[in-house]
Amino acid sequence: MKKIKKQNNKQILEGSRAIALTIKNIAPDVISAYPITPQTHIVEDLAKFKANGE
């Protein structure tokens, strides 16, 4: 995931990145998804979170 710009404790990110972070924070047991546009960034970011133990 590319670095997020921070301004006054606020993060600026694309909608798909925000969705991925929200799903990460919810920490579901199962995620059923297929990497296809426009949700590709979401699935890729979730895979990176998992690989990094997040």
Give which of 40, 9, 1, 46 is closest to 26, Cα–Cα. 46
- pTM for the complete prediction? 0.71
- pLDDT of the residue at 51: 94
Please compute the mean of the pLDDT values over residues 2-14 and round it to a whole number. 72
Please compute the mean of the pLDDT values over residues 37-47 and round it to a whole number. 87
Residue 53, φ and ψ in degrees, nearest 5: 70, 25
- pLDDT of the residue at 2: 62
Joined tokens for residue 17 = 């990145």
| pLDDT tens digits, 16-28 | 889 999 999 999 9
- Contact residues for 24 (Cβ-Cβ < 8 A; gap 6+): 45, 46, 49, 54
